[in-house]
Amino acid sequence: MKITAKGEYGVRAMAMLARDYRAGPIPLREIAVREGISYQFLEQIFLPLRRAGLIASVRGAKGGYTLAHPPEKIRVGDIVRALEGPIAPVDCVAEGKNNSCRRKNICPTRGIWEKLRDTMSEVLDEITLADVATMAQKTSEEGS
Amino acid sequence: MKITAKGEYGVRAMAMLARDYRAGPIPLREIAVREGISYQFLEQIFLPLRRAGLIASVRGAKGGYTLAHPPEKIRVGDIVRALEGPIAPVDCVAEGKNNSCRRKNICPTRGIWEKLRDTMSEVLDEITLADVATMAQKTSEEGS
DNA sequence: GAAAACCCGACTAAACATATCGGGATTATT
DNA sequence: AATAATCCCGATATGTTTAGTCGGGTTTTC
């Protein structure tokens, strides 16, 4: 019932891009150092994020990555889906895979997983990167 | 973001025990056959369920398993926790592991996972085995 | 005492997660 | 034009987890 390191790192990295939005592209190496994540592993994470249209890249010297949209337009659910695939507690109720399970009509537990899937999606789609930035703000104030 | 086969099979098997509650102990072999699950794998699943006090076993010939409590007293969340451990999308916010993460106060993403964890717990704890039996009833009526 | 059933640790093959490696392509700066 | 910074990306390696098997034990009924 866990997301992978890719998902976790991806959300953290995107949160950083959100914080520094409009500051020009940030090189991946810097993100890796600041978050304490392997540079080469982060590369693997940013590839699908770019292909999903969540980030934009600038190649060459002085290049790096920026959010492809303002933070309030990017939902945590988008990031998780790009890195982990469709949200689903069990395969047979995966988002976008409707009606494929042949036991659909006789499976007594299907309803559980559908409800769980929908709730998980809702939570992750309700939270945008702008919200994450705000939450971080609040947390560090409390923390001091 | 998926539960394992143990969790899925466990919930299915418990749903069957709920349906046949008060019919005397059901042998594991029968459950395995009826659900199409390997008998030896099911054994591995029923051990933690018993240790968690969710099922009662009767040894010897004519033995088998029954729910340890009425279906309406057993929550799907109990089953999942017994088989998968604490509910948590990431380790650092695992149920029962409060305050252990040292980045707790500076982590901008912690709030996401806490909210997701709480919502997942709520959903799974809201559904009892009695509800699952009812849902199955409804589903098969629609299906025909 | 034989058969039915639970009990339970140890093992294994395959899949998955978490990286690392090696090099190529693009662009800013000098 | 050369250099350095940076993204691009397939292949490989390593470790862990999952899903399932094996082999034997214990308890109880008939």
Q: What is A53-100 written as a DSSP string?
A: TSEEEE-STT-EEEESS-GGG-BHHHHHHHHH-S--SSGGG-TT-TT-
Which segments of chain A have a pLDDT < 50?
144
Taking an 8 Å cut-off on Cβ atoms, the answer to whether A12 and B112 are in contact is no
Helix axes B110-126, B76-84, angle to 10 degrees: 120
Q: Concatenate the DSSP letters of all residues of B7-34 into one string.
A: HHHHHHHHHHHHHTTTS--B-HHHHHHH
**A5-139 has which CATH code?**
1.10.10.10
Contacts with B115 from chain A: Cβ below 8 Å: 123, 127
Q: Which residues of A touch B1 (CB under 8 A)?
A: 1-3, 7, 80, 84, 87-89, 120
Residues of B within 8 A of A7 (CB-CB) are 1
A1 touches strand C (CB under 7 A): no
Q: How far apart are the first and last CA of chain B?
A: 32
Q: Which nucleotide's C1' atom has the smallest distance to the CA of B85?
A: D17
Closest nucleotide to the alpha carbon of A31, via C1': D6
Per-domain residue ranges for chain A? 5-139
Which of B8, B115, B123 is opposite residue A90, by nearest beta carbon?
Answer: B8
**Residue B62 CA distance to nucleotide C1 C1' (Å):** 17
pLDDT at A104: 82
**pLDDT per position as a tens digit, A75-107:** 999 999 999 999 999 999 998 876 677 788 889
The one-letter code for the residue type at A60 is: G
Q: Which two tokens stand for residue B64?
A: 């088998």
Task: For residue B15, give the nearest of B141, B108, B131, B103 by alpha carbon.
Answer: B131
Contact present, A12 and A136 (Cβ < 8 Å): no
Which chain B residues 12-41 have CB under 7 A to strand C? 25-29, 40
Nucleotide nearest A63 (Cα, C1'):
D6
Whether the model clears a pTM of 0.75, i.e. scores above it, the answer is yes
pLDDT in tens, B90-106: 999 998 876 678 788 88
B135 vs A86: which has the higher pLDDT: A86
